[in-house]
Structure 1
Amino acid sequence: MLYNAYELNRALLTSASAWASVTAEILNNPAMPFGYAGFSPVIASALDVFAHAAAPRGKPDFGIESVLAKGADWPVTESIVLRRPFGNLLRFSHSGLPHNAPKLLIVAPMSGHYATLLRGTVARLLETNEVYITDWADARMVPIEAGTFDLDDYIDYLIGYLEHIGPGTHVLAVCQPSVPAFAATAVMGEARHPCRPASLTLMGGPVDTREAPTSVNDVAVTRPLSWFRHNVIATVPLGYPGAGRRVYPGFLQLTGFLSMNLQSHMMSHYQMFMHLVTGDGESADSTKRFYEEYRSVCDMTADFYLQTIEHVFQKHSLPKGEFVHRGKPIDPHAIVDTAILAIEGENDDISGIGQTRAALKLTPALSDDRKEYFLAADVGHYGIFNGSRWRTKIAPVVENFIATHRAREQLHAVA
């Protein structure tokens, strides 16, 4: 019933959005002189804001056409190099990269948004790296015949991606995938897998949510797992390829994030309205672009979502040494030669300070010269991987870390 009610509401809003958009265009048409009189500009701006807020959204494109590197613009090539039911592996490259450029796998969150949320992350790191990214699928679009997808499958997918890319690959995990990326590294380390990560960068991830709990953590621990199973899990309705699949709907995730900072989001839309009233279309378009991405959401499989709530937020299985993969305990002591960089934002209200840094404490067999920590001053959660501070302050730390340990590994291989 939950999903069906949402679909009905979405259909109504889609129609209303279309009418609002058409009316706003009529009022803004230079051929309509009455659009400049009285309250017409205000009405047109209000309708434009509503039309944008209520419009349906699908999966965005990365749309990275070129990057600036070595003082020149280089056309970017985007391709799918590995297809899997629950997530493809994408590759980004350009001819300005040296033939031996570092290979970097970016693990995007499976947390309700598409991998395109990391568009800025990819574009910046593509300047110096051959970039791969996990392009997770919308669970409602995956036929039920494809089977289930849980934390074990997530870890297996990461291992499979690393095997496809090959030895010497560096990994960067943003937010939620910090835990499964760490687990995959430990599993591959214990097996002495030749394709285990050369380095692992964890950014704003919930490795140990007992450190500086945030409101997101509080929501996960104040209710039993059964509450989540009975109240936020829904069945994909008919009309989608994944009809019948049990999922945590993306629209619920979006609602949760919007409610956390409702006043801020309302102010952003009010400012967009004022920009439109005064004719500042450029500023209004900037806000629109952000929300077009922010409101593009996808569903997660129920198994993956519930296991994440249980093991990451409620039981703290990884830091307590109780996390398992395919029935076998995960041993962080097995990480002995994968360098680890932990990055946190000073103003992160989703993953508190210390939650990501905990990864450095969990790896006693890893020498201190292979560990690094960076606290980004005056940066919130999304600022860790997007925006000006990411491009100028944080990305260089990641690049230097990769370069340092890549050179070290090459020297070791020669010796």
Structure 2
Amino acid sequence: MYYQLYEFNHAALQPARAYADAIRLFYSNPLNPFAETYLGRTLAASAEVFERSTRRYTKPAFGLTETSIDGTQVAVREQTVWSQPFCNVVRFKRDLPKGANPGPRILMVAPMSGHYATLLRGTVETMLPHADVYITDWADARMVPVADGTFDLDDYIDYLIDIFDHLGPDTHVMAVCQPSVPVLAAIALMEARGAKSPPASMTLMGGPIDTRKNPTAVNELAEQKDISWFRDNVIMPVPWPNPGFMRQVYPGFLQLSGFMSMNLDRHITAHKDFFMHLVKNDGDSAEKHRDFYDEYLAVMDLTAEFYLQTVETVFIRHDLPRGQMQHRGDPVDPGAIRRVALLTVEGENDDISGVGQTKAAHDLCVNIPDEMRHHYMQPAVGHYGVFNGSRFRSEIAPRILDFMHRNSPAKGRTAVKKPGRASSRKGS
């Protein structure tokens, strides 16, 4: 019912949004003499703030069309190399200069926690000059028809194993936040089964490996509620006319509400400053605000089964650090990992994954040789600073690339298979 009311309210505000947009266009038109007056800019700013505060933000584009390699600008194009109903793997294929070193092959496993994979646009952009970059582009559950089946944490792990097999054993994996647990689980299962193509290294960044360490407000909420509370209060059917009509989901707008409420004063101040930038005709500052919130406010739904299984396994029962996590009846034993190097990265001021939660992976992966493991804690950054921003570009990314180079296979690259649909899994 709440999801239907949310959709109804959005539709009901459409005429007001259209009117506000018309006001903005009228009072910002350079042919309008009022456009350069204080009153005209105030009216245009008020209309834009209202329109942006009530619109639905769709999935942004990556928009990465070029990068610089050894001082040469080269074209970049997106190429889907693996596909399933709930995920595509996108490669950012670069037109390399003749003789250029392609660098390590990196698979970025984007978080499936409410935002689109484009949240890692800056992460991809930073790595593109130095590496062959791939990313998991998770589907919005409300856009996947019920006929395509279910998708839970076990399916997520199956997808990762398929992707690792597809890309080959010299792949380096970067798991940002939420996927740290399933990435570690998938690699542990591959090692336990003697798989021939585990990744060369895994980099876990701001992930909830053991949320009992320095619990944050997010962790404490999960501890205070049992799984039935989440099932009864945050799981809703997708309303018509979305393609995923009647699929049970955890709606993205609820996740966004949680994110916003954690730093509500900061968001209010940001919108007040945006209004003043518009009134003062400070276009650069206003555009930075637009760019950030176009991404931040674009959210996706998660399947109910994935959300509930993740909450229960990771945040309520702490199955992985307690040695009790299972995947389709098979135990997940990080101690089985011997061939995959491990780098963990944390932010000093992370208020989503507390300090020590990601580093806990080293306590679990006891059989990785010491020379193949490293932990780095970045001072003065929060959660998003772990994988984006100036400190990521100048201090974290170089360490990640150096770690990957030191743990790359000695011989040449394994060819990636041609784009196509992966082997069938449940619900595909």
Calculate the TM-score normalised by the size of structure 1.
Answer: 0.96
* Runs of 5+ unmatched residues, structure 2: 413-428
The 5 Å alignment of 1:10-409 reads 10-37=10-37, 39-96=39-96, 98=100, 101-406=103-408, 409=410
**Counterpart AA for 2:54:** A
Q: 1:38 to 1:197 in 2, by over 3 A?
A: closer
Q: Check whether the contact 2:180–2:209 (CA below 8 A) recurs between aligned residues.
A: yes
One-letter amino acid of the structure 2 residue matched with residue 246 of structure 1: Q
Q: CA deviation digits over 1:206-235, x for unaligned, max 9?
A: 000001100111111111111110000000
1:12 positional shift: 2.5
Letter in 2 for 1:354: G
Looking at structure 2, the residues matched to 29 and 243 of structure 1 have their Cα atoms a distance apart, in angstroms, of 41
C-alpha distance in 2 between matches for 1:317 and 1:256: 24
Whole-Å separation in 2 of the counterparts to 1:250 and 1:340: 32
Distance 1:4 1:341 in 2: 44
After superposition, the Cα gap between the structure-2 partners of 1:387 and 1:358, relative to the gap in structure 1 and judged at 3 Å, is same
Q: Which amino acid aligns with 1:50?
A: F
Question: Cα distance, 1:36 vs. partner?
Answer: 4.1
Return the letter of the residue paired with 1:222: Q
1:164 offset after TM fit, Å? 1.1
Offset of 1:100 from its aligned partner?
5.3
Q: Normalising by the residue count of structure 2, what TM-score does the alignment of the two structures yield?
A: 0.93
Measure the CA separation in 1 of the matches of 2:101 and 2:290. Answer: 38
Letter in structure 2 aligned against 1:349 = D
Q: CA 1:38–1:387 in 2, change beyond 3 Å: closer, same or farther?
A: closer
Once the 2 structures are TM-superposed, how far is the Cα of residue 47 of structure 1 from its aligned partner?
1.3
The answer as to whether partners of 2:102 and 2:130 remain within 8 angstroms in 1 is no
Partners in 1 of 2:154 and 2:206 — Cα distance? 22
- Cα distance between partner residues in 2 of 1:215 and 1:13: 33
Shift of residue 59 of structure 1?
1.3
What is the CA distance between 1:304 and its match in structure 2? 0.5
| CA–CA distance in structure 1, aligned partners of residues 349 and 59 of structure 2 | 29
Give 3-state SS (helix, strand or coil) of 2:84's partner: coil
* CA deviation string 1:12-57 (max 9, x = no partner): 2333222211101111222222344463322221211221222222
For residue 75 of structure 1, what is the amino acid of its counterpart?
A
Q: Which moved more, 1:382-391 or 1:245-254?
A: 382-391
Question: How many residues were matched structurally?
Answer: 411
Q: Distance in 2 between matches of 1:16 and 1:112?
A: 27
Counterpart of 1:405, as a letter, is N
Letter in 1 for 2:165: E
**Would the aligned equivalents of 1:348 and 1:380 in 2 still touch at CA under 8 Å?**
yes
Instruction: Give yes or no for contact 1:336–1:365 (8 Å, CA) kept in 2.
Output: yes
- Secondary structure of the residue aligned to 1:101 is coil
Q: What is the percentage of aligned positions where both structures have the same residue?
A: 51
Residue 83 of structure 1 aligns to a residue whose secondary structure is strand
Once residues 316 and 254 of structure 2 are traced to their aligned partners in structure 1, the CA distance between those partners, rounded to angstroms, is 20
RMSD over aligned Cα atoms:
1.5
Paired residue type of 2:75: P
Instruction: Mark the CA change 1:38 to 1:58 in structure 2 (over 3 Å): closer, same or farther.
Output: closer
* Equivalent-residue separation in structure 1 for 2:38 and 2:200 (angstroms): 64
Give the residue type in structure 2 aligned to 1:337.
Answer: R
Amino acid at match of 1:268: A
8 A contact 1:14–1:56 mirrored in 2: no
- The Cα of 1:410 is off from its aligned counterpart by 4.3
2:252, 2:218 → 1: CA distance?
A: 16
Question: Helix, strand or coil: the match of 1:253?
Answer: helix
Instruction: Please say which of residues 272-281 and 92-101 is displaced more in the overlay.
Output: 92-101
Give the match's secondary structure for 1:406. coil
| Whole-angstrom CA distance in 2 between matches of 1:9 and 1:137 | 25
Is residue 108–residue 134 contact of structure 2 (8 Å, CA) maintained in 1? yes
Cα separation, 1, equivalents of 2:323 and 2:13: 47
Q: CA deviation at 1:95?
A: 2.4
- Per the alignment, in what secondary structure is the counterpart of residue 106 of structure 1? strand
> What is the Cα deviation at residue 61 of structure 1?
0.9
Q: Provide closer, same or farther for how the CA distance between residues 276 and 184 of structure 1 changes in structure 2, counting only shifts above 3 A.
A: same
Q: Structure 2 CA distance, aligned partners of 1:224 and 1:129?
A: 43
